[in-house]
Amino acid sequence: MLQLAVCDDNIDELSNMVQLINQYRSSKHLDCEYAIFQNGFDLVSTLEKGKRFDIYCLDIIMPSFTGIDVAKEIRGFDKTAPILFFTSSPEFALESYSVKAINYVLKPISKEKLFFTFDDILERIKAEKDEDAIIVKSNEGIQKILISNLVFAEVIGRNVLYHLRSGKVIECAENFSSVCDNLLKYGHFIKTHRSYIVNMQYVDTIENHQVTLQTCSTVPVAQVKAREIKQQYLNYQMEGE
């Protein structure tokens, strides 16, 4: 069941949103629930108690605690859930990108606007659910990593570092052996070294002492395994043809 959070300090706007959401879920036969909040403090308080939502619909212009402020707090708990801004002013459009908002819709909110926007969001959610991903817990909160975006992982001390295609590195306190066991299930990862596991989709070249990746990063190869690793990569390439 899809969980929505709707936050707006204007009771009339909030009532309009609820009516439109009810129309949307009825017309789409969508299994969803929503919670309404008249200020951002109540929404954040709910998150602090452990509640999470699949989609956040936020007004931006609210007294004391703006929608942008609320979104920043949300990102402390959830890095990936879609945040949708509804606002009467276009001046915050640029700032909305700082919290990775999925859309920015100007009021008044019509049925057409809401239906179009929700259709787009649900299509994205479905696409992500259909794609392989792992869930990790970092010091920034719980995060979802799409397997297609993971270039390689390494262990340093007691921490595992996930290197993403974007250049971002997510650091987690995890057991590297368990991480490798999990990633190897996907069929296109190879452990080149006791401290490294690589997504073969991103391999550029393999030499006896290192692997060069398409992101220009290099990872070491255990020399005793160099021949085996090259053969594994060759097999992977042949399977893909």
Residue 95: the pLDDT is: 73
Between 133 and 180, the more confident residue is 180
Residue 76: the pLDDT is: 86
Look at residue 94 and tell me whether its pLDDT is greater than 80.
no
Residue 240: the pLDDT is: 60
Residue 89: the pLDDT is: 77
Residues 6+ apart with CB under 8 A from 133: 144, 145, 146, 147
Q: Which of 206, 215, 214 has its CA nearest to residue 233?
A: 206
Q: Phi and psi (nearest 5°) for 206?
A: -120, 125
- The dihedral built from the CA positions of residue 217, 75, 21 and 109, taken in this order, carries a sign that is negative
Look at residue 1 and tell me whether its pLDDT is greater than 60.
yes
Residue 130: the pLDDT is: 65
Residue 118: the pLDDT is: 94
The full set of domains in the chain, from first to last, is 2-130 (3.40.50.2300), 133-240 (2.40.50.1020)
Residue 228: the pLDDT is: 93
The average confidence (pLDDT) of the chain is 91
Lowest mean pLDDT among 7-16, 88-97, 167-176: 88-97
- pLDDT tens-digit profile of 109-125? 999 999 999 999 998 88
- pLDDT tens-digit profile of 18-48? 999 999 999 999 999 999 999 999 999 999 9
Q: What is the Cα–Cα distance from 79 to 135, expressed in whole angstroms?
A: 11
Report whether 51 contacts 74 (CB < 8 A).
no
Look at residue 241 and tell me whether its pLDDT is greater than 60.
no
- pLDDT tens-digit profile of 179-222? 999 999 998 999 999 999 999 999 999 988 999 999 999 999 99
Percent of the chain's residues with pLDDT above 70: 97
Looking at residues 88-100, what average pLDDT do you find? 75
Look at residue 126 and tell me whether its pLDDT is greater than 90.
no
Looking at residues 72-101, what average pLDDT do you find? 83
Look at residue 154 and tell me whether its pLDDT is greater than 90.
yes
Q: What is the Cα–Cα distance from 143 to 81, expressed in whole angstroms?
A: 10
